[in-house]
Amino acid sequence: MTSIRVILADDHKIVRAGIRRILESAGDIEVLAEAEDGEEAKALIQHHQPDVAVLDIQMPKASGIEVIRWARANLRGIGLLTLTAYDDPPYVMGVLQAGANGYILKTASPNDLIQAVRDVYAGKSALDAAITQKLMTQIFEQKSAPSYQELTEREMDVLRLCARGFTNKAIAVQLNISDRTVQGHLAHIFDKLQAGSRTEAVMRAVSLGWVSENAAETSGEE
């Protein structure tokens, strides 16, 4: 079995020890190294080139959001999962807009954390169920929601597959188009829905009634 190579960053040693124990109990996850601040996280990610980095938000020297932005600007192919105690929508949106693949609360069960790492590794995203509910409630409660440009039929096809957790490559195969074409459609979708990530685009489409809530795997798509 191929191991999922992980870098873990949290400024509390006892928290890191607990997270490491949970992840390595899965059998298919290997924690390569631990960082106690954001700058150390950058260095370890650069050195080890892990499959997934599990990051706290509030850390000395550089926040989890700063590490995510740095990783997105300098590296390719790494999954970025935030594991935090903060469930405030501004934190969530800041993390997702920075480029994270997932947002999990420290109150999540061990199985949920393990599955989140696996999902991020597989190219999906992982969003804590409690976070999803908060964001959906916020979207529905907005009194003056902006108008969004309608998507083309093909863009809707791409968005529906995103909601089901398909990666860009899988979407390309499903629709018999190139990866580059999928990326182009996603760029148009993000622009039309004023979204910064696949997760945000899917949730916005659900709130608009464009995608069925039952069909959207918001805890398992990017």
Write down the architecture of domain 142-207 according to CATH. Answer: Orthogonal Bundle (1.10)
Residue 149 token pair: 């440009």
pLDDT by residue, tens only, the chain of 222 residues: 679 999 999 999 999 999 999 999 999 999 999 999 999 999 999 999 999 999 999 999 999 999 999 999 999 889 999 999 888 877 788 888 889 999 999 999 999 999 999 999 998 888 887 777 777 666 665 544 567 788 999 999 999 998 888 899 999 999 999 999 999 999 999 999 888 888 888 888 887 778 765 555 543 333
Whether the full predicted model's pTM is greater than 0.75, yes or no, is: no
Q: Output the pLDDT for position 218.
A: 41
CA distances (Å), origin 29, targets 22, 64, 135, 143, 192: 10, 21, 30, 44, 38
Tell me how many degrees the CA angle 190-112-76 measures, rounded to the nearest 5.
45
Q: Output the pLDDT for position 164.
A: 86
Tell me how many degrees the CA angle 124-127-129 measures, rounded to the nearest 5.
135
| Residue range(s) in the chain whose domain bears CATH number 3.40.50.2300 | 4-132
Q: Output the pLDDT for position 197.
A: 86
Question: How far is 82 from 65, CA to CA, in rounded Å?
Answer: 9
Could you tell me the end-to-end alpha-carbon distance of the chain, in angstroms, rounded to an integer? 24
How would you class 90 by CB atoms within 10 Å of its CB: exposed for 0-12, middle for 13-18, buried for 19 or more? exposed
Q: Other CB atoms closer than 10 Å to residue 178's CB: what's the count?
A: 11
The CATH H-level superfamily of 4-132 is Response regulator (3.40.50.2300)
Q: Output the pLDDT for position 67.
A: 95
Strand partners, 4: 29
| Residue range(s) in the chain whose domain bears CATH number 1.10.10.10 | 142-207
